[in-house]
Amino acid sequence: MTTAPALRVALVHDWLTGMRGGEKVLEAIARSFPGAPIFTLFHFPGAVGGALEERPIHTSFLQRAPGIRRYYRHYLPLFPAAVEDLDLTGFDLVISSSHCVAKGVVPPPGSHHICYCHTPMRYAWDQERAYFPRRRGLTARLRGLALTGLRAWDVTASRRVDHFLANSRFVAERIRRYYGRPADVLHPPVAVDFFTPRGTGEDVKEGVGEGTQAYVLVVCALAPYKRLDLAIGACRKAGVELRIVGTGPEEKALRQMARDSGSPVHFLGRVSGEALRDLYRDALCLLQPGVEDFGIAPVEALACGTPVVATGRGGVLDIVEDGQHGHLVPEQPEKEDEAAVRSLAEAIDKTRQTRFNSLDLRSRAETFAPALFTERLMGFVTSRERSI
């Protein structure tokens, strides 16, 4: 299924600085529109996969900003002006992939703008205090003023979108709450053909006894809202090794926390795809203590035949059925970290004793296959071509 030959399509993404979940979605979207150029705030050549690097990539004035590679987050107040400065003249269809400001691009008259929204900006909306816990001082006040302005711009910019696609029901609700707009849910694609169980013919992933050396795996950026402090506490209480894949600004503090706890926690940083697949395959479970907008890691774990233990709120509810694909625990109120640690530890213990059918886990993951994403995306686009 393809669009009309005369239809000119532009893809817009926030920035191209690494190959994370958002960039993998952009790559899948790009495959559906061969030759469509990419517009972005800034691009670090070589930072994303070849399928994106070979596209025409148009950047904003921020590409030439001093220290942009190291300090691009400091330029946040300029992001709205930079995305509005992108020139999309002559395009009929604009598809933005947005977790920050890409949705705010100014589409040309007569065009149609579809936004695949990974999430409204967490740090500008409901996660501001998690990202910026220091609330006193001149810097905090200036930052607060900047975020107030950014929220106002974000709501206004959302009106430039004709149709929203959300990566989960959770994000669709956030779009409704903050922008007052409906959104269709289109789950992101996951490489389930690459993430597979070890060997064949092993239908059951056994629960493991107390004496084994099985480990719990966490795969995420080391950011405040991921709540890795709860993961460290829960694994210590459950008496199980914790392995963490990922990097981020919280790494130093988390390493110190792990040392103070005396529990076996191993920070693995970035790993290859093959190494990550092996880690999934051999883990007791994937642990997701924070609330995610969607969460690709749980799908990758299920594809490898490994169950998921997670806080039962957010995008994980679109992925995991409690007791069938892992164990979900109720989200605890703020400042109830001790209760959250206890609940997660109990769920890890429960997973030790549960026999999960790897074929069931794998079957669930296959509903997020890239081919299904492409089919649904193109069906959505084609159904709206009449308005272009």
Q: In sequence order, which ranges of the chain are alpha helices (DSSP H)?
A: 21-31, 50-53, 68-71, 79-84, 128-131, 138-158, 169-179, 228-238, 251-261, 273-282, 296-303, 337-352, 358-365, 370-383
Burial of 367 (0-12, 13-18, 19+ CB in 10 A): middle
Are residues 381 and 359 part of one domain? no
Are residues 259 and 332 part of one domain? yes
Which pLDDT belongs to residue 128?
57
Number of domains in the chain: 2
Are residues 172 and 292 part of one domain? no
Q: In angstroms, rounded to a whole number, what is the distance separating the alpha carbons of residues 247 and 388?
A: 42
Q: How confident is the model at residue 214 (pLDDT cuts 50, 70, 90)?
A: confident
Are residues 354 and 337 part of one domain? yes
What does the pLDDT look like over 237-263, one tens digit per residue?
A: 999 999 999 998 899 999 999 999 888
The model's pTM? 0.86
Are residues 72 and 49 part of one domain? yes
Find the domain containing 170 and state its range. 9-189+369-387
Which pLDDT belongs to residue 388?
57
Are residues 303 and 158 part of one domain? no
Are residues 165 and 67 part of one domain? yes
3 belongs to a structural domain? no
196 belongs to a structural domain? no
What does the pLDDT look like over 28-75, one tens digit per residue?
A: 999 999 989 999 999 999 989 889 999 999 999 999 999 999 888 889
Which pLDDT belongs to residue 30?
95
Q: Is the pLDDT of residue 210 over 60?
A: no
Are residues 236 and 170 part of one domain? no
194 belongs to a structural domain? no
Q: The CATH number of the domain where 35 resides is what?
A: 3.40.50.2000
Q: Is the pLDDT of residue 130 over 80?
A: no
Are residues 302 and 161 part of one domain? no
Residue 102, C-beta contacts closer than 8 angstroms, at least 6 positions apart: 12, 13, 14, 40, 83, 96, 115
198 belongs to a structural domain? no
pLDDT (mean) for 132-154: 75
293 belongs to a structural domain? yes
Residue 347, C-beta contacts closer than 8 angstroms, at least 6 positions apart: 309, 327, 328, 329
2 belongs to a structural domain? no
Are residues 94 and 78 part of one domain? yes
380 belongs to a structural domain? yes
Are residues 175 and 32 part of one domain? yes
Mean pLDDT of the chain: 89
Are residues 67 and 213 part of one domain? no
Q: Is the pLDDT of residue 170 over 70?
A: yes
272 belongs to a structural domain? yes
Which pLDDT belongs to residue 209?
39
